[in-house]
Structure 1
């Protein structure tokens, strides 16, 4: 603090010595205050670094148990809402530590919540609740081809690493968290199909959470990848059966309706925005070639980068479905699921912190711009509470939803990358807990991003020059 350049004060002559003495005392006091603030900041950084170091130590200490948990889930793939054995295994794992309060059937039969704390601060202070999310449902036929066993392991490992590090603090106030800390592990079923997180949102499971973390296996390490909104639609055509050779004119061909709808949607793609997607299958196309199909069924996925655009794509697709019914004389049923998955709201504050912590552990992040990804019900969570959903490399270039990825998700090789990711998540939580300015920045960014999307994009000049 250079005082001479900024303090130009005219003092009455008779009180000049007295005033100068007061001024020197004031300056000395300000300098002492600045030194204390700098010392506190330095101490805060030191404590954060110590907490982060302890996170790694705590996770390394239990790495064998974490691998067994992951293997138990991997060996028993279960579909959405039916993850009984995986759920029970997770409950037993969390219940082994009596510091955790476990609710084994939390709002859904195969959901679980475990809470630790509150810790630190002073009695009566606001409690800051940090959530770590676990998934454990599998895919039909190919098991854990999306690595949800590793998602469960990452969530548990990060939570235990954070609570273990906090537990090593001599005095709760030593960690300089401005608020009391609570840590929650939330086991969320049915991500692949159904939307378990949406069920939990509607049931109030996220109302007391301040920030949430999870990470998803992939082929690269990416702090943020734009996961898009999605809805699926089932279309059933009802016609009239008849002998396809003897009396075809007596029939109403439901397969014609399905094929016509399929082709109409394929043609529609030319007029869709470049980042809109629709893809589908014919689930039922008839029973025998010599019978005019009386019933057919289509299933489609519709995706847009913003959930606010999804209704427009639905309207366009539905026009194709209905026009096919009109053209063939069929009746049509169009049904949508209970839940739509939203896109993930970005939180640059959390993403940058995660990258910084990850790099300190040796993670090499890939920069992605405008990459199109899949969809997740974490998107809905990101509209309720600030959060991060990074992707992490597991030691293979195999693609998700393949048999090769199933094998990789169960391999011991994946453990190094999985636990490294868990450490980075827990370290990012430490930054938010110990730095009020980062917590505030994260919250402001969350509110602004949510408001921006709810208001919709501003009108743009779409005029083009034609040659």
Structure 2
């Protein structure tokens, strides 16, 4: 373990938090331009070349050394401040978008809040001469391709890490009560896979009996899963699409492909549900005489909420006049590869609401529209200030870091 960082005395903490806020305020205009540039140029996972170029140029222009293609990923990067011999805090930045609907998950705002947090905390670390390091880590391809999973496999979270932190935009209706933010954002595990069915072509009008219909296998599978939902728990989700269902009606479909997500609050339950869904696929193949095979994608683990870090975030955000909910009683039935990070190191994944129409949530075109507005940018900036204060706390408050580590180690890894 690295040497413990000196404690920030209570009288110093006011200066530290003020430095975080004032630094972020000084960058507010340039951060808005950065935010709008990313929002106006949405890119899919592992193709975020414009976003990475824009972010790294911004960092370099402000005096930071940037490592491109970090950990072997072409659209990852790191920027770091601090000294060796102390703990490390990682601020994760996302910036990928969704097919056809752009930044409907608001990852432009995640990038903005994370970069703002890095700028504020970096200046506070320099001003207070704290030991330890602060790293901004660009994490591509959160939307289904598991960029953070690949970063974990490459060793990005293997050091003496006090905390990994980030926050995600949400809709106001996703918070009950008069809260202006969420600290502990429970999100569930997700298995992702594709299934291919291989049949035999034939003339659909002349000799259909000579064919094996791969589209029928996909349709049967879809129906099987629909029936399975009757026995699923209310907090579980299974959803899929037919990506390839054939070409023309008068040829028996030789090949079909489906894409499935299987979600449940814990890895154990998610594993159990996956087995049932796989049986639905096998049954679809069996009843049509088709062959099948699975194509696996990275699994997203459920988030291990660290209440030690969450409580500190709630306290720090109150300095800004924000009323942040510690933890929602109901899990968000969505998934993130930040869940995998939370199984590796003490982690924080909060939520900050942006103004949207009623009942509009992430992954909706109108959420993408809202994510590009000035009110959403201001929400990201406020969140960034809280993240900056949390990052410095995790470095300068050894008691907080020790408590977060103890909670992380004692949490059930199911």
* TM-score, reference length from structure 1: 0.81
TM-aligned CA deviation for residue 203 of structure 1? 0.9
Point out the structure with max Rg over C-alpha.
1
Correspondence 1:57-456 to 2 at 5 A: 57-98=22-63, 100-107=64-71, 108-118=73-83, 126-169=85-128, 172=129, 180-208=131-159, 209-220=161-172, 221-337=181-297, 339-366=298-325, 368-397=328-357, 398-449=360-411, 452-454=412-414
Secondary structure of residue in 2 paired with 1:198: helix
Structure 1, residues 46-67: CA drift from partner, whole Å, max 9, x if none?
2112211121111101101111
- Cα 1:308–1:126 change in 2 (3 A) is farther
Q: Match of 2:177?
A: none
After superposition, give the CA deviation of every residue in 1:419-455 in whole Å (9 maximum; x if it has no partner). Answer: 1100111112233333222111111001011xx225x
Q: Which 4+ runs in 1 deviate beyond 6 A? A: none
Larger fraction in strand: 2
Query: What is the SS of the residue equivalent to 1:117?
Result: strand
Partner Cα separation in structure 2 for residue 373 and residue 268 of structure 1: 18
- Matched-pair contact (CA < 8 Å) for 1:48–1:434: no
User: What secondary structure, in the 3-state scheme, does the structure 1 residue paired with 2:242 have?
Assistant: strand
Q: Secondary structure at the match of 2:151?
A: helix
Query: Which 10-residue stretch deviates more, 415-424 or 218-227?
Result: 218-227
Q: Is the 8 A contact 1:130 1:182 kept in 2?
A: yes
Measured after TM superposition, the shift of residue 89 of structure 1 is 1.0
How many residues are aligned here?
A: 396
Output the CA distance in 2 between the equivalents of 1:352 and 1:317.
38
Question: How far apart in 2 are the matches of 1:438 and 1:210?
Answer: 9
In structure 2, how many angstroms separate the alpha carbons of the residues matched to 1:453 and 1:205?
A: 20
- CA distance in 1 between partners of 2:97 and 2:407 (Å): 33
After the TM superposition, which of the residue ranges 267-276 and 59-68 deviates more from structure 2? 267-276
User: Is residue 190–residue 270 contact of structure 2 (8 Å, CA) maintained in 1?
Assistant: yes
SS in 1 for 2:215: helix
Q: Would you say the 8 A contact 2:46–2:75 is kept in 1?
A: yes
CA distance in 2: counterparts of 1:218 and 1:415, whole angstroms? 13
C-alpha separation in 1, matches of 2:375 and 2:140: 26
Secondary structure at the aligned position of 1:263 is classed as helix
The match for 1:465 is: none
**C-alpha distance in structure 2 between counterparts of 1:198 and 1:239, whole Å:** 34
What value does the CA root-mean-square deviation take over the aligned residues?
1.8
The answer for the alignment partner of 1:47 in structure 2 is 12
In structure 1, the gaps of 5 or more residues are 1-39, 119-124, 455-467
Judge conservation of contact 1:83–1:189 (CA < 8 Å) in 2: yes
Distance 1:295 1:105 in 2: 37
Question: Is the 8 Å Cα contact of residues 101 and 115 (structure 1) preserved in structure 2?
Answer: yes
Q: Is contact 2:263-2:333 (8 Å) kept?
A: no
